[in-house]
Structure 1
Amino acid sequence: MRLRASQPRGRALQADRTVWEIGVAQRVVTPSLGSQMAGFDARKGVAESVHDDLHARALALTAGDRTALLVSVEVIAVSAAFSAAVRQRVREATGVPESHIVLSATHTHCGPVTLNHFFNQGQALDDGYLAKLADGVVEAAVAAYGERRARTLRVGLAPAEGIAKNRRTADELPIDPFAGVLLVEELDGRTVAIAVNYACHTTCLGPDTLSLTQDFPFYTLEKLRAELGSDVMAMFFNGAEGDLSIGHKSDLSAVGVVDSFRTFATAKTLGERLADAVLEVLPTCAAELAEIAVIRREVALPLKSYAPLAAMTERKIETKAAIDVDAPLLEQVKSKQQYLFARIEEYYARLYEESVAAEPKALAVEMIALRLGSTVFVSLPGEVFVRISLAIRERSPFARTLFLGLANDYIGYVPDEQANATIGYEVVAARVTTAASEVMEQAAVEMLEGLSEAKQRENAA
């Protein structure tokens, strides 16, 4: 079906205020078969097949003399260096400032290796593929910019149930209960593109999967296109998904214990469930006024300190030696977890020791607050726990506050204070301290308040 705007076009003045210049474009960035795959320390083997292609999908929005570029990159993550180089190339080609460009990784664990971090230490990087990926992202962004024309943008929040679960709590809560929806239409109401923003690990498929795939978002986007039109570009943006998955426990998954429900069939069920939630809310999505504002801030997140590297290396060796392949399965799992945790902490200890910053050491990260009409997005440079995003939303002066996860950088996990009170994979895999969540929350709120105050001044002028 083709959905039309639920509101009449109205007077010329109203139409003028809701008309944007919007362009969309995409490029395939699927690696070749035989490529290394990222996301699971326990995975054995390389890419043997392509279940569905991976893409860079770009949305360019212009209001007046300001343009924003949002790019969904269907890979596990992008590094700060990769992002900086790509955004510079896009700026040089389009004139759009780097602070107005956000690359957000969907975080599929069934895609190529795009960086080295705690979860894939020493895994081979293919410079040829990384160059191809960069070209694909740049080409999609530049093409979207060049394809801009007079269009409208409608935005809504879709209640989404039965998809994400909190993988660290007994009641599987909290989660982000909403999916953000952006609908781009021609002035006659024909659908051009749709973007879905939803917080959840894209890990329906486990370490035993050797097929390249977007994971469950593939089925979300396919169903949306089937309903809205095959020529519609559909794109997925992740959110604050640090402690959210489809039900499996990370402590087990990280050491190769794969739940039986982690299949393509589950991905299809959950992906289409998300699409259904989005489709239901489309008729109520409101037209956004063509307004763009951006605030960028560099935020210093305090780093954990570690024992001397030599001691951490010794612990890693000891935990590896303690693994007994003849022991009962539960004992093997526990010993493998201890070895994995020791490896992660040794990795971070090395980074800490190599840092030249004086004590207390901190990690500088970029955050961006982007206002599109009355909807705001906050970029998050890693895997941020959902309580942090919910706290930001609660304090936000805007009715619709959404989050672009794994954006322009990958710093690992950022747990909230409550989660940091317990141990577990994500907490061990966080390089930053408990205080980092408070710093990130406060920085986001201050940026949102800054956007709100600027909007009030503009309205009063």
Structure 2
Amino acid sequence: FDARVGISNAVHDDLYVRALVLSDGAIKAALVSVEVIAISAKMSLAIRRQVEHATGIPLSQIFLCATHTHCGPVTLHHFFNQGQPLDEAYLERLTSTVVDTIRQAADALKPRVLKTAMVPCGGIAVNRRTADGLPVDPFAGVLLVEEMTGERVAIGVFYACHTTVLGPNTLSITQDFPFYTLEALRRELGPEVEPFYINGAEGDLSIGHKSDLSAVGVIDSFRTFETAQRLGEKLAQAVLTGMTHLVEEQPLLDVRSAYAPLPLKSYDPLPEMAERRRLAIAALADSKTTLAAKQTALFARIEEYYARLYEESQTPEPKYLPAEIGILRLGGTAFVSLPGEIFVCVALAIRERSPFPRTLFLGLANDYIGYLPDEFASTTSGYEVVASRVPAEAGRVLQQHALQLLEQAREVVCAEGEI
């Protein structure tokens, strides 16, 4: 949180790495939940190279998905923590923990049954940029792992919402609301079942607070652990209710990836952006209690940061942001990996045109490119749009590349005659 003052002083609940390795005998893939705010492209590549060496799983078939908790260690530099020191010893330990966890999962491979569903889920995520709180992703994805004899082994929950029930005033380490989701599933399904959570296209989704206010330290009274528990358990109940709709998947995997060249915003020359920032900070000093002044200063700082990145880029004109996306097809379900905070409309458009019966999203996967707004949002500005490096057309580029990968996966499925 940009508005957070102070460092963590307690642990409410521990943060985990949880890995699921899949194989159909020919193809292997790893689906990994990492309970941190984000994973940089550099860290992702280092981890995946080590995993490839240790397990033989190709790095392009490994999906590292950050849950995006804001109540955990800093793992990368971005607009929200410019110049903040990183704990390199922690990052090394995190890297080795992720690698070891995936390796252990790969060593434990055995024949099992996989079942999936998209279950209706309402009353949790709210679109924080619209008056009516819509659109949101109306579904939670479920992936159930069973032994061949029927005993449940693990359950994955795929749901799009900022894990920011707790605000900048929370100084305890916590998974946020997914902690309560996973605990409720464990209580109901038994301690032998390992639950995990993966975020989705949550760029403009939260539990109702406005990002423009939250970013400058205005904290709604409902952002408490009690609310996190209520919403987390509500998500768990939706998953449990929807388990009657689970579909057993055929043991067929397909994994594909590509880099979508997203256009970058253009910025004024760096000296001009620096002067805007200086003036905004000066105005803030003269009006310490004005929200508008705080927001202007924050936005000016973000834009100057991106202008610096733009000028430092060695890429010839036109400049692009390479965004890694991937498809993990499991039977009739397709998982689309998204490398940052994608607005929900961008993902819903992919799902609408997807050739698969069930399409789910792996948010904040393998990289963190920041926000990717949809076209309507880009006309209304606000925190997320200012904090995005890409213009409106980037969403269309991402959609195009994702749909191409989905169509390629569908052609393989049709050739195999399964769906």
Q: Normalising TM by the smaller chain, what interval?
A: over 0.9
**Number of residues of Structure 1 aligned to a counterpart in Structure 2:** 418
RMSD: 1.0
Aligned partner of 2:291 in structure 1 is 333
Does 1:105 pair with 2:63?
A: no
Give the conservation status (yes or no) of the 8 Å contact 2:335–2:360: yes
Aligned partner of 1:120 in structure 2 is 81
- From 358, 361, 369, the equivalent of 1:403 is 361
Give the conservation status (yes or no) of the 8 Å contact 1:56–1:140: yes
Aligned partner of 2:326 in structure 1 is 368
Q: Deviations for 1:152-207, whole angstroms, at most 9, x for unmatched residues?
A: 00101111110000000000000000000000011111110000000000000000
- Measure the CA separation in 2 of the matches of 1:334 and 1:233: 46
Does 1:451 pair with 2:409?
A: yes
Aligned partner of 1:16 in structure 2 is none
Counterpart mapping for 1:298-313 below 5 A: 298-313=259-274
Does 1:263 pair with 2:211?
A: no
SS at 1:156's partner residue?
Answer: strand
Give the conservation status (yes or no) of the 8 Å contact 1:73–1:103: yes
Aligned partner of 2:192 in structure 1 is 231
- Measure the CA separation in 2 of the matches of 1:288 and 1:375: 8
SS at 1:422's partner residue?
Answer: coil
SS at 2:36's partner residue?
Answer: coil
Amino acid in the other structure paired with 1:249: K
Unaligned residue ranges in structure 2 (runs of 5+): none
SS at 1:111's partner residue?
Answer: coil
Does 1:285 pair with 2:246?
A: yes
Counterpart mapping for 1:9-408 below 5 A: 40-324=1-285, 329=289, 332-408=290-366
Aligned partner of 1:24 in structure 2 is none
- Measure the CA separation in 2 of the matches of 1:215 and 1:311: 40
SS at 1:112's partner residue?
Answer: coil
- Measure the CA separation in 1 of the matches of 2:244 and 2:320: 46
Q: Deviations for 1:45-92, whole angstroms, at most 9, x for unmatched residues?
A: 111000000001000111121111000000000000000000000000
Change beyond 3 A, Cα 1:325–1:214: farther
SS at 1:306's partner residue?
Answer: coil
Give 1:324 deviation, angstroms.
Answer: 4.6
Give 1:296 deviation, angstroms.
Answer: 1.0
Q: Deviations for 1:349-393, whole angstroms, at most 9, x for unmatched residues?
A: 000000111222101121101100110011101100000000000
Amino acid in the other structure paired with 2:216: V
Does 1:428 pair with 2:389?
A: no
- Measure the CA separation in 1 of the matches of 2:182 and 2:286: 43
SS at 1:323's partner residue?
Answer: helix
Give 1:100 deviation, angstroms.
Answer: 0.8
- Measure the CA separation in 2 of the matches of 1:415 and 1:326: 31
- Measure the CA separation in 2 of the matches of 1:314 and 1:325: 17
Amino acid in the other structure paired with 1:402: L
Unaligned residue ranges in structure 1 (runs of 5+): 1-39
Amino acid in the other structure paired with 1:438: R
- Measure the CA separation in 1 of the matches of 2:195 and 2:286: 46
Aligned partner of 1:438 in structure 2 is 396
- Measure the CA separation in 2 of the matches of 1:356 and 1:85: 22
Aligned partner of 1:412 in structure 2 is 370
- Measure the CA separation in 1 of the matches of 2:261 and 2:287: 46
Change beyond 3 A, Cα 1:93–1:251: same
SS at 1:157's partner residue?
Answer: strand
Structure 1 stretches of 4+ moved >3 Å: 324-327
Question: Identity across aligned pairs (percent)?
Answer: 61
Q: Deviations for 1:88-136, whole angstroms, at most 9, x for unmatched residues?
A: 0000011000111000000000000000001111111000000010011
Give the conservation status (yes or no) of the 8 Å contact 2:287–2:293: no
Give 1:325 deviation, angstroms.
Answer: 6.3
SS at 1:456's partner residue?
Answer: helix
- Measure the CA separation in 2 of the matches of 1:376 and 1:355: 34
